[in-house]
């Protein structure tokens, strides 16, 4: 694991806009978040993946290397230019916070569905519902970003960029099966901070069980073989 600069010391005098500073830091990070690595085994081969606010594309690139087809979207795509010749990569330059929703009829993601949606260290609250809707049945949401409480330690501090308590849980409630969820101070990983992260799968409807409870999904895997539950009889 590479060493990354600490983000824990507040710098109130900085004149660099928050997002620019944070994104500059991200561009130096090429290793995928441990959360995304942990659940990559749940992204099926040849999956259609959306890496929203992709930055340098570290997560989409990771899934490309695992045979997924990846749509990268960001308002700045300079760091993704090398993917132009990659047949399984689609790079979309778009401001997803503009007047036209990316999911609307005129939007950049119109009529698109994905088997996996990945969002790391980015929040634009009005997109949350649409991100669940574009996940195909059986697909997966991997979302990790800063949450309330982070403002006491480090950037981002703007409440618009911080998830509310249990917000990711509320967003998927009744729509997806929660495989794993965490909210707290995370010292390890790419950029430390107070974060919320979720892994959820869209298989509530397809479970087929009488009580609507889907079969358990492995939340740990060696990442090379399909995960099989080992429950004691």
Ligand X SMILES: C[S@@+](CC[C@H](N)C(=O)[O-])C[C@H]1O[C@@H](n2cnc3c(N)ncnc32)[C@H](O)[C@@H]1O
Pairing of strands 48-52, 193-201: unpaired
Give the H or E element holding residue 143.
strand 135-146
207: phi > 0 → left, psi -120 to 50 → alpha, else beta; which? Answer: alpha
Q: Measured from the CB of residue 133, what is the shortest distance to ligand X in angstroms?
A: 18
Residue 66 DSSP code: T
Cβ atoms 206, 137 nearer than 8 A? yes
CA distance 26 to 133: 27
109 binds ligand X (CB under 6 A): no
Q: Cis bond leading into 153, ω under 30°?
A: no
Q: How far is the CB of 137 from ligand X (least distance, A)?
A: 25
Give the CA count within 13 Å in the CB-facing half-sphere of 55: 22
Cβ closest to ligand X, residue 143 vs residue 183 = 143
The verdict on 55 binding ligand X (CB under 6 A) reads yes
Q: Where are the alpha helices (DSSP H) in the chain?
A: 18-27, 34-39, 58-64, 128-133, 167-172
Site for ligand X in 76-105 (CB under 6 A): 76, 95-97
Candidate list 74, 115, 151, 167; residue touching ligand X; CB under 6 A: 74
Residue with smallest beta-carbon separation from ligand X: 55
Size of the site for ligand X (CB under 6 A): 19
Selected from 120, 132, 141, 179, the binder of ligand X by CB under 6 A is 120
The answer to whether 36 contacts ligand X (rule: CB under 6 A) is no
Q: Applying CB under 6 A, does 75 fall inside the site for ligand X?
A: yes
C-beta of 5 vs 216, nearer to ligand X: 5
Q: How far is the CB of 155 from ligand X (least distance, A)?
A: 10
Query: Of 56 and 193, which CB lies nearer to ligand X in the complex structure?
Result: 56
Structure-block tokens of residue 64: 């490309």
Residues that bind ligand X (CB under 6 A): 19, 22-23, 26, 29, 53-56, 58, 74-76, 95-97, 120-122
């Amino acid at each position: 694991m590479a060493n990354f600069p600490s983000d824990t010391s507040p710098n109130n005098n900085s004149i660099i806009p928050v997002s620019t500073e944070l994104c500059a830091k991200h561009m130096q990070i090429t290793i995928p978040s441990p959360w995304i690595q942990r659940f990559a085994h749940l992204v099926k081969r040849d999956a259609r993946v959306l890496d929203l606010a992709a930055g340098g594309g570290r997560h989409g690139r990771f899934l490309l290397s695992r045979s997924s087809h990846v749509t990268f979207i960001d308002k700045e795509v300079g760091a993704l230019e090398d993917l132009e010749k990659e047949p399984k990569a689609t790079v979309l330059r778009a401001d997803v916070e503009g007047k036209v929703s990316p999911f609307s009829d005129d939007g950049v993601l119109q009529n698109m569905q994905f088997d996996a949606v990945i969002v790391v260290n980015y929040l634009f609250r009005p997109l949350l519902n649409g991100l669940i809707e574009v996940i195909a049945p059986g697909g997966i949401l991997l979302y990790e970003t800063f949450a309330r409480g982070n403002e006491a330690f480090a950037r981002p501090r703007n409440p618009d960029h911080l998830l509310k308590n249990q917000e990711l849980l509320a967003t998927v409630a009744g729509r997806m099966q929660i495989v794993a969820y965490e909210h707290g101070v995370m010292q390890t990983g790419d950029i430390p901070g107070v974060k919320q992260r979720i892994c959820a799968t869209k298989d509530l409807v397809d479970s087929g069980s009488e009580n609507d409870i889907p079969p358990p999904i492995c939340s740990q895997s060696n990442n090379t073989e399909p995960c099989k539950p080992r429950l004691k009889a």
